[in-house]
């Protein structure tokens, strides 16, 4: 598991909200390779739970049907749980934009419920799965995920550490290449149907991370997190035009239509904005936006809490247009190795 000490999972009970999604299933697969005692899958989708149970066929898996909007259900599901990965969310931008009240109930109030149930059950650590769209958000989805982050960063302020040991940690990263609803499978599907690709702007850039890289990052954040941090991975980005050309060469050229940027869409994504940079640090292969309560500590004091920490001063903001780009050939290799086509 990429140098991560997996003994932290030995004999532990883990719960994943939204566990039947693409990230939840990949995380389950990774954790089942450790000596974990039990993994609880918490989700609303009964059919996906049945399919997942048949797929893994592991006695350490338990399946809980429930909704993060239901605090009482979470309270029962979290009993005797050590670590929680909070991945449940309404995430498809156009759907969320059309149904903002529902996204608030799931992404914000649902996250508040996860926090409350974790505290009352004395869960050791809880990691919420964020997104680059939470940075300076232009759409409802990004705004709800920003508030989720704020809730997790602030949650530790309300705890009496002697009574409640729970540590809340946030992670923020870009698009997982090939995840459900993302651009790569959409483009592949269109090409296979011999349809034109719909591109809003050929100069658009997006951060990219593979599923394995995302899992390494999330588990590392869980391991290193002390509470109230936002962790961000060091990743590359790609230009949408290069992605299009890579897929045309791998499959066939079906043409393209330029439609213009949609409402709530950005030309370039940002993982750390210019206002967060002064509070950001490098810690090994990650960046970290520090707990505001620690911002007055000296470098010596911080280095005792976070070994190998150093101030982030590489750029004015960490955006997809000012990081290393993934070449067309690299994209072809990544897509092929991930078995997306």
Contact criterion met (CB below 8 Å) for 228 and 293: yes
Per this entry, what is the length of the chain? 341
Q: How far apart are CA 226 and CA 228, in angstroms?
A: 7
Burial of 189 by CB count in 10 Å (0-12 exposed, 13-18 middle, 19+ buried)? exposed
**Short-list 196, 175, 134, CA closest to 331:** 175
Distances (CA, A) of 120 to 72, 76, 125: 11, 10, 13
* Residue 56: CB atoms within 10 Å: 16
Q: Output the CA angle 77-80-83, nearest 5 degrees.
A: 85
**N-terminal to C-terminal alpha carbon distance within the chain:** 26
| Those residues with Cβ within 8 angstroms of residue 78's Cβ, 6 or more apart along the chain or in another chain | 15, 84, 117, 118, 120, 121, 123
Query: Under 8 Å CB-to-CB from 79, ≥6 apart: which residues?
Result: 121
Token pair belonging to 320: 């997809």
d(CA 239, CA 320): 9
Nearest one of 245, 247, 237, 254 to 326, comparing CA atoms: 237
Active-site pick, 12, 91, 133, 266: 133
Active-site annotation holds for 105:
no
* φ, ψ at 147 (rounded to 5°): -65, -35
CA 187 – CA 333 distance, rounded (Å): 16
Residue with tokens 């809003």: 200
- Catalytic residue IDs: 133
């Amino acid at each position: 598991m990429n140098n991560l000490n997996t003994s932290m999972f030995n004999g532990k009970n883990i719960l994943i909200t939204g566990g039947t999604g693409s990230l939840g299933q990949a995380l389950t697969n990774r954790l089942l390779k450790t000596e974990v005692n039990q993994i609880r899958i918490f989700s609303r989708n009964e059919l996906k739970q049945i399919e997942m149970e048949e797929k893994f066929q592991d006695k350490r898996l338990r399946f809980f049907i429930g909704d993060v909007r239901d605090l009482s259900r979470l309270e029962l599901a979290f009993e005797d749980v050590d670590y929680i990965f909070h991945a449940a969310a309404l995430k498809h931008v156009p759907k969320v934009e059309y149904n903002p009240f529902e996204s608030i109930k799931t992404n914000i109030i649902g996250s508040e419920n996860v926090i409350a149930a974790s505290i009352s059950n004395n869960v050791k650590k809880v990691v919420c799965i964020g997104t680059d769209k939470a940075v300076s958000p232009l759409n409802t989805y990004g705004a709800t995920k920003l508030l989720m982050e704020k809730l997790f960063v602030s949650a530790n302020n309300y705890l009496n550490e002697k009574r409640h040991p729970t540590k809340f940690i946030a992670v923020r990263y870009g698009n997982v290449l090939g995840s459900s609803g993302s651009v790569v499978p959409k483009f592949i599907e269109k090409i296979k149907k011999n349809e034109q690709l719909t591109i809003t702007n050929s100069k658009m850039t997006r951060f990219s991370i593979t599923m394995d890289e995302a899992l390494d990052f999330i588990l590392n954040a869980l391991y290193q997190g002390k509470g109230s941090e936002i962790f961000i991975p060091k990743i590359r980005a790609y230009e949408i035009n290069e992605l299009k050309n890579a897929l045309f060469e791998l499959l066939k050229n079906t043409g393209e239509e330029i439609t213009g940027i949609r409402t709530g869409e950005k030309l370039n994504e940002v993982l750390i904005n210019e206002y967060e940079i002064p509070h950001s640090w490098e810690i090994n292969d990650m960046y970290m936006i520090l707990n505001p309560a620690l911002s007055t500590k000296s470098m010596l004091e911080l280095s005792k809490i976070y070994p190998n920490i150093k101030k982030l001063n590489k750029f004015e903001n960490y955006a997809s247009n000012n990081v290393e780009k993934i070449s067309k050939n690299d994209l072809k290799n990544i897509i092929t190795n991930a078995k997306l086509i």
